[in-house]
Amino acid sequence: MKNPHLPPQLATAMRQAVVLEYWNLFWSGTIILAMGLVLGQSQTMKTAWIEDTLGLVPPIMFLISAQVEQRGRGSKRFPFGFHRVNSLGFFVAAVALATVGGVLLCDAAIALLAAEHPTVASVVLFGHEVWLGWLMIAAQVYSLIPPMIIGRKELPLAETLNDKLLHTDALMNKANWLTGAAGLFGVIGLGSGWWWADSLAAGIISLDIINDGIKALRSSTAELIDGAPRALSSPELSDDALALRRRVQSEFPEADVRLRETGRLIHVEVHGVHSPLENRHPGHYWPSGDERSWRVAQVSFVPPADKKNSEDPSAQ
């Protein structure tokens, strides 16, 4: 299907990303099922299970926004189209992560302070008695594998598409080994008689969830309130945008150059000067090469407010 908003050179990467996110949902579903079957009373397992369930939010939001981005054309009610659906999805994912991370951290702290001793009993499996902890460890080890592979595949696609939602998902997946290791420590510690290991591991995992959430929240909020374009992996200003700003500023030194981001695209406003006489494609202003010049969606010029002090180029 032809995408009215997506630059044509990104169509292949977008298709691959959509397929990968469907696989992500499938494998995450198997992990959630496996972890859910062996939760027991362990706070670690509960926290890891909720984290895995929350991990569905970014891929679901990515698929929804990709769908809307593909089908949604501008209308009377939405004349600028749906470029920002991706940003909205990113914001929703960030709020979910930060909130649930906070709740889980409170849970873990209360369990630790109350010195709760979690029970991990036995189950009968095919006529054999098995300590549930072994099944928890198996589920935790399994939960490490698919995200690691998917995260590695997502990262280059997120960079090609300059997609923050996909990038957040890739980083969350890649970092999953850390929470998996914390989860294993929790269950093994519990089996070793260290009752506190379970709550401590749950606390570490929730801190990681909060960290992911806050980083994503800072970036997504900046975009939604027309902040300058942020880097993919941090709330810092993006190198691309800084270079673009320098490039435009060098051509219009007296102008006030403002950049904002809608989804993966950058809009440039050049205040205080008239537009050049010749027609230029927005990509003309891209500082280096043509490969990523699709990121410049629009360059608008806002003439000086005081006409007496400005020189109208059309009068020349």
In the bound state with another protein, the residue whose beta carbon lies nearer, of 40 and 59, is 40
In the bound state with another protein, the residue whose beta carbon lies nearer, of 129 and 254, is 129
Q: Minimal distance in Å, beta carbon 201 to another protein? A: 13
In the bound state with another protein, the residue whose beta carbon lies nearer, of 145 and 228, is 145
- Cβ neighbour number for residue 59 with a 10 Å cutoff: 26
Q: Minimal distance in Å, beta carbon 76 to another protein? A: 56
In the bound state with another protein, the residue whose beta carbon lies nearer, of 116 and 159, is 116
Q: Minimal distance in Å, beta carbon 116 to another protein? A: 7
In the bound state with another protein, the residue whose beta carbon lies nearer, of 199 and 293, is 199
In the bound state with another protein, the residue whose beta carbon lies nearer, of 200 and 217, is 200
Q: Minimal distance in Å, beta carbon 185 to another protein? A: 8
- Cβ 19 vs Cβ 54: under 8 Å: no
Q: Minimal distance in Å, beta carbon 117 to another protein? A: 2
Question: Of 142, 135, 83, which is closest to residue 260 (Cα–Cα)?
Answer: 83
By CB under 8 A, name the binding residues for another protein.
Answer: 41, 116-122, 124, 127-129, 131, 133, 137, 141, 181, 184, 188, 190-195
Q: Minimal distance in Å, beta carbon 148 to another protein? A: 13
Angular region, 289: left φ>0, alpha ψ -120 to 50, beta rest: left
Residue 94, CB half-sphere, CA atoms under 13 Å: how many? Answer: 23
Given strand 296-302, what is the order of strands in its sheet? 256-262, 265-271, 296-302
First to last CA, the chain: 47
Going from the C-alpha of 8 to that of each of 13, 110, 235, 268, 283, the distances in angstroms are 10, 52, 28, 21, 14
Going from the C-alpha of 15 to that of each of 27, 66, 69, 157, 264, the distances in angstroms are 19, 10, 13, 10, 16
